[in-house]
Amino acid sequence: MVVEAEQIKVAHAPAPGAPHRYRQYLAPAFALSVALALVAGLYLRNGRPRVPVAAAPAPPPPVKIKTVEVQRGDIEQTVLASGKLQLFRYADLGAPISGEISDVFVAVGDGVKAGKLLIKIAPNVSVARLEGNQAQLAGLRAGLAEQQAQLDFAQLQFKRQTQLKTDHATSDESFESSRAAMTAATARVEAIKAHILETESATRDDDEAHKHTEVTAPFSGTVVALTARPGQAVTAHQQAPALVRIADLSKLTVQARVAEIDVPHLHKGTSASFTTPGYPGKHWSGKVRQIVPVPADGSGEQGRDTFYNVLFEVGNANLRLMSGMSTQVSFAIAHAHDAIILPVTALGKPDSDGLYSLKILDANRHPQLRRVRIGIRNQHQAQVLAGLTPGEQVVIDMPAASASNTPAAAGHRIAVHPVTHLTPH
């Protein structure tokens, strides 16, 4: 055993100066060692689980608060209503005589001047009838002259017989005969006079019928309705339907239907303006002429809301507006100049004192509750009487989470988003 150990020892310890028989294996062994070291390093880097590093806490998201700015400006309180344009001045013309329409000289939409011939009517009375009446009248007048002469003679005879009767120089029979003759002559004269009056009236009517065979325009305007047709039979002074309607379109009437709750705010002379869909952005104005004191047709019945017609006029010199156009009317019932104003979107419901509770951003951008008194208002703006000053920011939208906690206490940042409000009128 000792010998073997020595042999082994000798085998691993080469003699000095002798060549090493294992030198050829050193380089491969070293390369293998380096490769194993690299593999071990990669395993330790990628294969072993890493310990997570704690991240820094993210800042809380900002609380978005929408605000509007209190400003100064003019404001109007208005009553709104819908309505229609109507004719202001017009005339319905009928037939002045009975007869048949022979000619129609206008059409709907034509402009006419005062006195222009519109319709020609052929009267039912013929020329022969008119001439016959005139001839009969001449005969009656001649007969009246004859009977008047006989009456004069009878009166003279009666006067003579009366004188003789006084002197007892005539008989009673002669006296009574003369009186009867005078009475009969008087009756004949009166009968002829009555017949003359009757004939004169008929002749005058026939003559007027021939003179008034024309329908003319009573004033300058426009033909807006026409029912007359050539060959149509008409009756003198017929009322309905009218043969033609002439209207002056240079001025129209606005008939607005106003709710009963708003009518007490209006009076004669109240300023009014309106728009119509046909001319977007265009405004016309006028002043109230009349508030009709009875409900408008179809309102206030069977549980319906009650409305009243309010009338005012508007100039239409260029004839752009037309009867029947729909309108959106605004009546100005109150006005404030250079007032403190606030968009109505910032208002809620008033409390029992009539005040509004609003949230106002303080110097640190924290919302603070404040009570505000409001004056006149319209659809877009409200007048501030007390509680706000121009330039202050009023909160109109705030998340519920931040409404119960102040931003400072909740650790939130406030991001204020002003809302552009309407330009004061």
Highest mean pLDDT among 29-43, 130-144, 398-412: 130-144
Q: Is 422 in a helix, a strand, or coil? A: coil
Position 308 pLDDT exceeds 80: yes
Q: Which CATH number characterizes residue 403's domain?
A: 2.40.420.20
Residues 104 and 132 placed together within one structural domain of the fold: no
How many structural domains is the chain composed of?
Answer: 5
Residues 115 and 223 placed together within one structural domain of the fold: yes
Expressed as residue numbers, the domain containing 301 is: 79-84+248-334
Residues 252 and 325 placed together within one structural domain of the fold: yes
Domain assignment of residue 187, yes or no = yes
Whole-model pTM: value is 0.58
Residues 392 and 281 placed together within one structural domain of the fold: no
pLDDT at 423: 38
pLDDT in tens, 152-196: 988 888 888 888 888 788 788 888 888 898 899 899 889 988 888
Position 250 pLDDT exceeds 60: yes
Find, among 259, 289, 150, 136, the residue nearest to 199 by Cα.
Answer: 136
Position 106 pLDDT exceeds 60: yes
Residues 305 and 319 placed together within one structural domain of the fold: yes
Residues 29 and 141 placed together within one structural domain of the fold: no
Domain termination site, one of 318, 334, 350: 334
DSSP lists the bridge partners of residue 409 as none
Region of 374 on the Ramachandran plot (φ > 0 left; ψ -120 to 50 alpha; else beta): beta
pLDDT in tens, 310-335: 999 999 999 999 999 999 999 999 98
Domain assignment of residue 23, yes or no = yes
Distance of alpha carbon 234 from alpha carbon 242, whole angstroms: 10
Q: How far is CA 36 from CA 22, 29, 31, 45, in A?
A: 22, 11, 9, 14
Q: How far is CA 101 from CA 96, 105, 109, 113, in A?
A: 11, 11, 21, 21
pLDDT at 195: 86
pLDDT at 268: 95
